[in-house]
Structures are given as structure tokens and as C-alpha cells.
């Protein structure tokens, strides 16, 4: 099982959980496993074609998967996946 | 009993002395073996004039400060004073007591150096009041007089005098940033005071730029405050940000963040960016052409439902304090050149768990903005991103 860190804006979709254990051989499998456990996350992570949404950054440990093999990047048990949508605030 | 002159003579026999000409040749050939030149005289002597590139460690503070200035004991060091006596004694101390392997004292000191007609540096001096005010900076080798002068000359623009801008305004003013610009068109509201520490109860209703100016001047009356009580937009951004050395981004919405990014890339001004929500903050530095830009990190913003504002979702009042001060530290480093900035890195701070996570941010070779020459970015492209119309309609 890998650990997926859930950003604040997605926690409503994971019942408030900040970290989810999910299994899979690559980043895409792990995220799809997350989406199976918490279906509300699916549309936020994936576009209709099954690709990662452009506004969601995903990191394997500290490296952006866009510079690795994207969703095909291999994952081992001890890895942490960080989901990071952009945050805008600022607080007036 | 030996006289003082005898002691100095004896010590000079035990250390290496070098001629000013040799020191000048060594420091000019620049082959990597150049010695570190240390002036061991008193503060006022150093401020009058010193050898080019010399660092200042007064002899009275030698034992406590030399390691901060020269950490490598095998590094060649040349010490000098006014005439060569104090530097001889200091060289003896460094060699015999502190274990420096390659220390020499310059014969005849800066007096002989000047007699030879060699160049000296005449530093700009702080006033007595400034020397007292910034004394703790002057003691830190990474800042020192040179860094403090850079801070005094610096022009820093705060986008927003809110949660992030407030602590930045106060601490950057305290640190002696010479000019602080503030862009904010809002007025102080009671609900701001849970976190916006540049404002106060008796200034509710006052424009934030004016209220922040009051607080800044209470801390440091020398700071020049430039007030921009406007909303940042495509029509005014280039004019407002041009001429600032660093921008502190505390903006609360995506369209303006993209606009800011594009303007800062065009004008090549580094942006220290932070954002906050709930108990979590993000921090990075976008240094145009030296690191990634905001668009390299976030090519497109999330839909409005995934981008709640603090106004809608709330925030721990202390959190913008933490993030605004982390931004201020980055500003100081960008201005003084000390340390490594967050350019190319993104910091995530989770206050509830007290965890810091650092992620790598790469320049995108296909970035629509920073992969190009700054002059080729047109007004029409500024602040535009995919689905811009849709986003703004959704954000309503």
C-alpha cells in the first residue's frame, strides 16, 4: 500500500481523511484505487478521458510525475503520493 | 618584564608577514587561491576605508566571530590593521589558538597600502541611530553592513495588506527595507483583526494602505511607504510593479495571480508567493528565468468549487502570520543574496500536524510564458489562461 496525501479541498470527498492508503503498481493505479474507495474524488482527479486533470499536480515523494512517467510512473510500497491542486488565498 | 614593543616583535617572528604588493597580486589574479582578507580594526576605522572585498572582524571579537566569517581552517587568510601590529597579534591568535593553517599579517597595514597608491573601498556608512537599530543584523555575517545597505536600498512591493501582507509589512519595515509599496484597495474591517496584525481596533474603516503605513512608521519611521489604494488589474499592473526589486504575493484569486506572474516574468522581478487555507499553507519563490514561474507549477487553475477562498472557508488566524514571515525571510535572502531561496521548491505547511513537506518545482520547457523572451510577451496574453472566460464566469 502507498500513502496518498489528500489536500484540504479534497477532504470533503474522503470523509475528512488527510491520508489514504491505496494500492497499485503505478501512480494511475493508486489514484484509481483511491477513487474506488472515495468515488467523489474521481471527477476531481480525472478528466472524462481518464487523464489526470490539468489543474491537479501529483508528486511521487517530492517529484512531479509530469517529469517522470506521468500516471505510468511505478510506485513501491514505501512511496508517498501528494495530490496538490493550486491554492489561491490570500486572505482579505 | 618585556615591553609591549618586545612582545609584538617576538610575535612577528612567529607569524608570516606579507607585503601589500603580494596581497594585491594574490587578490587580483582570481585563480581560486585568493586569500580571504580580514580587516581587524575597529568599526569606525573600517567604515572610513578598507581594502576592496575585505571582511570586517574587529580584533576584540576575533575569537568569537572569525569562524562565522572563515569556517575553513585551511583557507588562506590575510589580516591587516592600520600599521601591521594588531593584525600580527590577531594572526598569532588564529594560528596558535584557533588552528588556522595559512594565516598572514599584511606588513605596514592599510597605511602602507594607501601609500603605495593602491585602491581602497570607501563604504557608505550607517548613521549612529541606524547602527544601533540594525546592530543584530550587523553581527550576522550573512547580512552585515553590506546586506543592511542592500536592505536599505531595496524596494519591496506587497500585494495586499491583509493576512500575509501584514506580518511581511511589519517585519520588513523592522528589518530596514528602504521602500515598501503596498497595493490594497480595501478598508480595515473588524473581521480582519483576527489575523491582519498591521491594523488595529481604532483604525476600523481606514483604508488598509493608510493603516499599514501607520504601523510601519511606528516600528521604523525611516521606511518610505508607497501606497497604491487600487485593485490590481491588467490596466495598471505593469505600471505599479515596475521598479520594485521583489514582489510579495498575498493575492486572493487566480486571475490576478496569473496576471502577476506574466507581468513579473516580463519585468524579471522575483515573486515570493504564499497561499493559505484552513490550517495549511503553500510557499514558493518564482524567480523569472532562474527558476520556474507560477504557470510552470500550475498551468491552469482549478474550477471554482475546488478553489475556495479564506472568506468562504476560513483560516486559522496565526497561519498567515507563519506564511507571511516565511515570505519575509525569502525577501531578505533575495535582497541580500544570503542563503538559498525557495525558487524551484514548494513548501507545504500543515499546522494541525506540524508537518513541512517540500516538493520540487521544475521549469516547464513549454511554459507559455517563461519559455519565451520577456519582450515577446504581449499585453493581450497577460493573465490569460486556458478556460479563462469559463473560470471567471464560474467564479462569478
Q: Predicted confidence band at B308 (pLDDT cuts at 50, 70, 90)?
A: low
Put simply, whether B365 touches A (Cβ < 8 Å) is no
Chain A contacts in chain B segment 138-197 (CB below 8 A): 160, 162-164, 186, 192, 195
- Contact list, B308 vs chain A (CB under 8 Å): 9
What SS3 state is found at B196?
coil
Q: What is the largest CA-CA distance in chain B?
A: 91
Structure confidence by residue, pLDDT tens digits, B383-395: 877 655 555 555 4
Please tell me if residue A76 touches chain B, with a CB cutoff of 8 Å: no
- The partner residues of B187 in beta bridges, in order of sequence, read B207
Compute the average pLDDT of residues A24-42.
95
- Report yes or no: A91 at the B interface, CB cutoff 8 Å: yes
How many whole angstroms separate alpha carbon B206 and alpha carbon B199? 9
Cis? peptide before A90, omega within 30° of 0: yes
Q: Which of A54, A56, A59 has the CB atom closest to B359's CB atom?
A: A59
Site of grid cell 618585556:
B2
Residues of B in contact with A91 (CB under 8 A): 162-164, 195, 250, 252, 276, 309-311, 315, 320
CA distances from B362 to B287, B295, B359 (A): 12, 11, 10
Which chain A residue is nearest to residue B356, measuring alpha carbons? A62
Contact map slice: B 105-134 vs A, CB within 8 A: none
Size of the A and B interface in Cβ pairs below 8 Å: 112
User: How confident is the model at residue B313, as a pLDDT?
Assistant: 74
Which residues 6+ apart lie within 8 Å of B344 measured at CB? Answer: B291, B292, B360, B361, B362, B363
**Residue that has been written with the C-alpha cell 549612529 in this structure:** B128
Q: Where are the alpha helices (DSSP H) in A6-55?
A: 27-37, 42-45
Peptide bond between residue B358 and the one before it cis (omega within 30 degrees of 0): no
Mutate to test the interface with A, among B197, B261, B277 (most CBs of A within 10 A): B277
Start-to-end C-alpha separation, chain A: 41
* A78 interfacial to chain B (CB closer than 8 Å): no
* B348, B361 contact by CB (below 8 A): no
Q: Which residue has the higher pLDDT, B394 or B196?
A: B196
Closest alpha carbon to B343 in B298, B389, B391, B297: B297
Q: Do B257 and A88 touch (CB under 8 A)?
A: yes
pLDDT at site B396: 40
Whether B360 has its CB under 8 Å from any CB of chain A: the answer is yes
Q: How far apart are CA B302 and CA B361, in angstroms?
A: 18
Integer Cα distance of B284 and B293 in angstroms? 10
* Whether B357 contacts chain A with CB within 8 A: yes
pLDDT tens digits for B1-15? 889 999 999 999 999
Chain B residues within an 8 Å CB radius of A89? 252, 275-277, 309-310, 315
Phi, psi torsion values for A43, nearest 5 degrees: -70, -20
| B282 and A CB contact within 8 Å | yes
The CA distance from B159 to the nearest CA of chain A, in Å, is 10
Judging by beta carbons within 10 Å of its beta carbon (0-12, 13-18, 19+), is residue B174 exposed, middle or buried? middle
Query: Least CA distance to A80: which residue of chain B?
Result: B357
pLDDT band at residue A85, thresholds of 50, 70 and 90? confident
Split at pLDDT 50, 70, 90, the class of A82 is very high
Question: Which cell numbers hold the place of B12?
Answer: 612577528
Q: Name the residue among A8, A10, A64 with its Cβ closest to that of B360.
A: A64
Min Cα separation A84/chain B (Å): 10
- What is the b/e burial string over B6-25, where b = at least 16 CB atoms within 10 angstroms of the residue's CB? eebeebbeebebbebeebbe
Contact B246, B157 (CB under 8 A): yes
For residues B23 and B17, give the distance between their C-alpha atoms in angstroms, rounded to a whole number: 10
| A5-19, B229-243, B257-271, B281-295: the lowest-pLDDT one | A5-19
Are A27 and A66 contacting, i.e. CB atoms less than 8 angstroms apart? no
Specify which residues B359 forms β-bridges with.
B346
Q: Is residue B72's pLDDT more than 60?
A: yes
Using 50, 70 and 90 to split pLDDT, how confident is the model at A88?
low
Flag if B300 and A55 touch (Cβ within 8 Å): yes
Would you call A57 an interface residue with chain B, using a CB distance cutoff of 8 Å? yes
Q: Is B395 helix (H, G, I), strand (E, B) or coil?
A: helix
- Residue for grid cell 607569524: B15
Per-residue pLDDT at B388: 56
3 state SS of B165:
helix
Question: How remote is the C-alpha of A18 from its chain's centroid?
Answer: 12
Model confidence at A70: pLDDT above 70: yes
8 Å CB contact between B149 and B160: no
Q: B77 pLDDT exceeds 80?
A: yes
CA B260, distance to chain mean position in Å, is 21
pLDDT digits (tens, 9 = 90+) for B362-390: 999 999 999 999 989 888 888 877 655 55
Query: B347-359: per-residue pLDDT in tens?
Result: 999 999 999 999 9
With contacts defined as CB-CB under 8 Å, which chain B residues touch A57?
A: 297-298
Least Cα separation, residue A23 to chain B (angstroms): 22
**pLDDT band at residue B116 using 50, 70 and 90 as cut-offs:** very high
Amino acid at each position: 500500500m502507498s500513502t496518498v496525501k489528500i489536500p484540504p479541498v479534497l477532504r470533503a470527498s474522503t470523509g475528512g481523511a488527510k491520508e489514504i492508503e491505496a494500492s497499485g503498481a503505478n501512480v494511475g493505479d493508486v489514484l484509481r484505487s483511491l477513487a474506488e474507495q472515495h468515488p467523489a474524488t474521481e471527477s476531481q482527479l480525472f478528466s472524462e478521458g481518464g487523464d489526470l486533470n490539468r489543474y491537479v499536480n501529483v508528486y511521487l515523494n517530492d517529484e512531479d510525475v509530469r517529469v517522470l512517467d506521468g500516471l505510468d510512473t511505478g510506485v513501491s510500497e514505501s512511496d508517498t503520493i501528494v495530490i496538490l491542486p493550486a491554492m489561491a488565498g490570500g486572505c482579505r | 618584564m618585556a615591553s609591549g614593543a618586545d612582545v609584538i616583535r617576538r610575535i612577528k617572528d612567529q607569524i608570516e608577514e606579507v607585503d601589500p604588493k603580494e596581497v594585491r597580486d594574490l587578490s587580483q589574479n582570481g585563480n581560486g587561491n585568493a586569500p580571504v582578507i580580514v580587516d581587524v580594526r575597529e568599526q569606525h576605522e573600517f567604515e572610513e576605508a578598507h581594502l576592496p572585498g575585505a571582511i570586517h572582524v574587529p580584533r576584540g571579537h576575533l575569537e568569537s566571530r572569525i569562524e562565522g566569517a572563515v569556517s575553513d581552517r585551511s583557507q588562506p587568510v590575510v589580516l591587516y590593521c592600520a600599521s601591521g601590529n594588531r593584525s600580527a597579534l590577531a594572526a598569532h591568535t588564529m594560528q596558535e589558538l584557533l588552528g588556522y593553517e595559512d594565516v598572514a599579517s599584511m606588513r605596514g597595514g592599510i597605511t602602507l597600502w594607501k601609500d603605495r597608491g593602491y585602491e581602497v573601498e570607501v563604504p557608505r556608512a550607517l548613521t549612529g541611530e541606524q547602527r544601533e537599530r540594525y546592530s543584530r543584523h550587523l553581527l550576522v555575517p550573512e547580512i552585515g553592513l553590506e546586506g543592511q545597505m542592500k536592505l536599505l536600498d531595496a524596494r519591496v512591493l506587497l500585494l495586499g495588506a491583509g493576512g500575509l501582507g501584514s506580518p511581511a509589512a511589519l517585519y520588513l519595515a523592522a528589518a530596514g527595507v528602504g521602500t515598501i509599496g503596498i497595493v490594497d484597495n480595501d478598508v480595515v474591517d473588524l473581521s480582519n483583526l483576527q489575523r491582519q496584525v498591521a491594523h488595529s481596533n481604532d483604525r476600523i474603516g481606514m483604508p488598509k494602505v493608510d493603516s499599514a503605513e501607520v504601523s510601519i512608521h511606528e516600528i521604523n519611521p525611516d521606511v518610505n511607504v508607497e501606497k497604491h489604494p487600487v485593485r490590481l488589474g491588467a490596466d495598471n499592473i505593469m505600471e505599479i510593479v515596475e521598479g520594485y526589486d521583489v514582489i510579495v504575493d498575498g493575492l486572493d484569486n487566480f486571475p490576478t495571480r496569473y496576471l502577476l506572474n506574466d507581468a513579473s516574468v516580463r519585468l524579471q522581478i522575483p515573486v515570493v508567493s504564499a497561499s493559505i487555507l484552513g490550517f495549511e499553507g503553500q510557499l514558493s519563490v518564482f524567480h523569472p528565468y532562474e527558476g520556474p514561474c507560477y504557470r510552470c507549477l500550475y498551468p491552469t487553475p482549478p474550477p471554482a468549487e475546488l478553489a475556495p477562498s479564506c472568506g468562504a472557508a476560513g483560516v486559522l488566524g496565526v497561519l498567515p502570520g507563519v506564511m507571511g514571515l516565511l515570505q519575509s525571510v525569502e525577501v531578505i535572502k533575495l535582497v541580500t543574496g544570503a542563503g538559498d531561496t525557495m525558487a524551484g521548491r514548494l513548501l507545504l505547511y500543515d499546522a494541525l500536524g506540524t508537518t513541512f513537506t517540500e516538493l520540487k518545482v521544475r521549469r516547464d520547457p513549454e511554459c507559455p510564458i517563461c519559455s519565451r523572451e520577456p519582450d515577446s510577451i504581449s499585453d493581450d496574453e497577460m493573465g490569460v489562461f486556458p478556460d479563462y472566460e469559463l473560470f471567471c464566469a464560474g467564479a462569478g
